[in-house]
Amino acid sequence: MIMNRKLMLLKCSLLLPLGSCVHELSAIGVSEIVYSDVVIREDGELGSYVQATYPALSGSRAQSMLSEAIRDAVIVRFDEWRDFVITRSAKSAEGMKSEPDDYGLSHWGWRTEGTYFLGHLGETSVSLCMKEYGYTGGAHGNWSFFPVNYMWDGDTVKEVIISDLFDGERPWMPRLDAAIRREHITLLERRNANKDYVAEMKADLGGVPGMHRGVPFSFSSRGIVFYFAPYFLGSFVEGDFLVFVPTADIQDMLAPDGPMGRLLK
């Protein structure tokens, strides 16, 4: 069921790190081109809704194709949210008519909201990470992340995975895992008052093998951000961990002609 579909465009700045469209980690995100924020939303029963915001590019054929890839990735997720949130809320609303005592407050206000963290928007590559916050009853909502990373190879759009950024002949994985671990500990020290626990974590600063695997990421000329959702590295109270690895820590491991290496030329 589709109800009250809305679409809005918000213009953003040229050659500025997130001027008028402000997101977290804005000091890291870089846009080399003009883009617009597209907001799509559908409203359902009992105050439910699904909404997503994503950047749209225009200009060259490459930019148009990259923009389509971003849109398609977000729309797939949006449709999944809609099929759950809007459909379930409609069923709850119908059930309340015949069995109102079976439905409490937790059936109201279901929603999923998709926002994004900008990594890089350029002529031949784009990188961002979507944050999906959802509430479908219970004490509190939760959120997760998924990456939207693509490059134009001169003919088609290709999805970028983490290994595409690095020189396959170099031992980049241990270096990357160690850098992630160090920043994780730095963030942990700021938000966890249990000194014994933090000290235990600090005892192993060499990195956790494979810590980067399967973790959503975004990249720019400034570095890579890894997005660890709640519960991934600790309790829900600790929240998510957005771990930034500066380019300087890994530059000698990057593939010169890879998506990130090209940004440094």
Tell how strand 49-57 and strand 111-121 pair up. parallel
1 inside domain: no
Sequence-distant (6+) residues with CB within 8 A of 30 are 17, 118, 119, 120, 121, 220, 221, 222
Residues 155, 38, single domain; the answer is yes
Q: What does the angle CA 214 – CA 247 – CA 143 come to, to the nearest 5 degrees? A: 35
Q: Are 90 and 116 in contact (CB under 8 A)?
A: no
- Check which CATH number belongs to the domain holding 237 and give it: 3.90.640
Q: Scanning the structure block, which residue is given the tokens 């909201």?
A: 113
The pLDDT tens digits for 194-231 are 777 777 777 765 568 899 999 999 999 999 999 999 99
Give the C-alpha separation, 10 to 38, whole Å. 7
Q: With b meaning 16 or more CB within 10 Å and e meaning fewer, what string describes 194-209?
A: eeeebeebeeeeebee
214 inside domain: yes
Residues 151, 168, single domain; the answer is no
DSSP states of 8-62 as a string? EEEE--SSSSSSSS--TTTTT-EE-S-EEEEEEEEE-GGG-EEEEEEEEE-SSHH
Give the C-alpha separation, 225 to 25, whole Å. 9
Give the C-alpha separation, 192 to 253, whole Å. 32
pLDDT at 197: 73
**pLDDT digit string (tens) for the chain, length 265 residues:** 333 445 444 433 333 333 333 334 545 677 778 899 999 999 999 999 999 999 999 888 999 999 999 999 999 999 999 999 999 999 999 999 888 888 888 889 999 999 999 999 999 999 999 999 999 998 889 999 999 999 999 889 999 999 999 999 999 999 999 999 999 988 888 887 677 777 777 776 556 889 999 999 999 999 999 999 999 888 888 889 999 999 999 999 999 999 999 999 8
As a whole number of Å, the end-to-end CA separation of the chain is 49
Q: With b meaning 16 or more CB within 10 Å and e meaning fewer, what string describes 31-62?
A: bbbebbbbbbbbbbbeebbbbbbbbbbeeeeb
Residues 130, 179, single domain; the answer is no
> What single-letter amino acid sits at 204?
D
Give the C-alpha separation, 242 to 239, whole Å. 10
180 inside domain: yes
Residues 148, 27, single domain; the answer is yes
Q: Domain containing 174: what range?
A: 164-264
Residues 139, 49, single domain; the answer is yes
Residues 250, 139, single domain; the answer is no
> Within a 13 Å sphere around the CA of 50, how many CA atoms are in the beta-carbon half?
23
Give the C-alpha separation, 43 to 177, whole Å. 42
Residues 156, 184, single domain; the answer is no
Q: Scanning the structure block, which residue is given the tokens 């249990």?
A: 194
The last residue of one of the domains, among 131, 160, 189, is 160
Residues 93, 220, single domain; the answer is no
112 inside domain: yes
The pLDDT tens digits for 77-94 are 999 999 999 999 999 999
The count of domains in the chain is 2
Residues 27, 39, single domain; the answer is yes
pLDDT at 27: 52
Residues 11, 130, single domain; the answer is yes
Axis-axis angle for helices 172-191, 195-202 (nearest 10): 170
Residues 15, 111, single domain; the answer is yes
